[in-house]
């Protein structure tokens, strides 16, 4: 994944705090690099459901990128915690079919792995756009 697109959108996430939940270490590091390069002030990178739940409960998160499955576990508890707090999220998955868990969030955007860095940045920026307009 290249993390330094040279167009004017590279700083689209200036000042935001993000949560990534991904069990693949290399993908997690790539995502973190892409988001920081796009201006995120802080990226909480989690590889387990338990760690993600703690972060979602305790930290101020602007938006999140969630893998649908963390090992054999569903991301649903984390998604529910974020939804309860009003934190927008996008699913990022390599699964070919839709996971039944995703039916709980029919309007949630889903990115297929692997996605280009600018697609990831754009998806997160779109999550934040409604909040910026209503603030």
CATH number at residue 77: 3.40.50.2300
**Is 4 part of any domain?**
no
**Is 122 part of any domain?**
yes
**Is 2 part of any domain?**
no
- What does the alpha-carbon distance between residue 97 and residue 35 come to, in Å, rounded to a whole number? 27
Lowest mean pLDDT among 7-16, 37-46, 90-99, 122-131: 7-16
As a whole-number percent, the residues of the chain with pLDDT over 70 amount to 84
Dump pLDDT digits (tens) for 38-49.
999 999 999 999
The mean pLDDT of 107-128, rounded to a whole number, is 90
Lowest mean pLDDT among 33-42, 80-89, 109-118: 109-118
**Is 9 part of any domain?**
no
Total domains present in the chain: 1
pLDDT beyond 70 at 37:
yes
The mean pLDDT of 52-73, rounded to a whole number, is 93
Give me the domain span that covers residue 130: 17-134
Dihedral Cα 25, 26, 32, 34, nearest 10 deg: -160
**Is 5 part of any domain?**
no
Q: Is 44 helix (H, G, I), strand (E, B) or coil?
A: strand
**Is 108 part of any domain?**
yes
In angstroms and rounded to an integer, the radius of gyration of the C-alpha atoms of the chain is 14
**Is 7 part of any domain?**
no
**Is 6 part of any domain?**
no
pLDDT beyond 90 at 19:
yes
Dump pLDDT digits (tens) for 64-108.
999 998 988 999 999 999 999 999 999 998 875 666 776 787 788
Whether the upstream peptide bond of residue 114 has omega within 30° of 0, thus cis, is yes
Instruction: Specify the pLDDT at position 51.
Output: 96
Look over the chain and give the mean of its residue pLDDT values, rounded to a whole number. Answer: 85
Output the pTM of the full model: 0.85
- What does the alpha-carbon distance between residue 48 and residue 13 come to, in Å, rounded to a whole number? 24
């Amino acid at each position: 994944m290249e993390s330094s697109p040279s167009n004017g959108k590279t700083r689209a996430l200036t000042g935001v705090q993000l949560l990534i939940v991904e069990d693949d270490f290399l993908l997690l590091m790539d995502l973190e690099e892409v988001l920081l390069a796009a201006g995120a002030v802080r990226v909480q990178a989690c590889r387990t459901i338990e760690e993600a739940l703690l972060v979602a409960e305790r930290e101020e998160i602007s938006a999140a990128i969630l893998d649908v499955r963390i090992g054999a576990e569903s991301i649903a508890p984390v998604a529910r915690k974020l939804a309860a707090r009003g934190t927008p999220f996008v699913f990022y998955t390599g699964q070919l079919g839709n996971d039944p868990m995703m039916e709980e969030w029919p309007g949630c955007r889903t990115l297929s792995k692997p996605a280009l860095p600018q697609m990831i940045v754009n998806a997160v920026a779109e999550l934040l756009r409604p909040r910026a307009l209503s603030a």
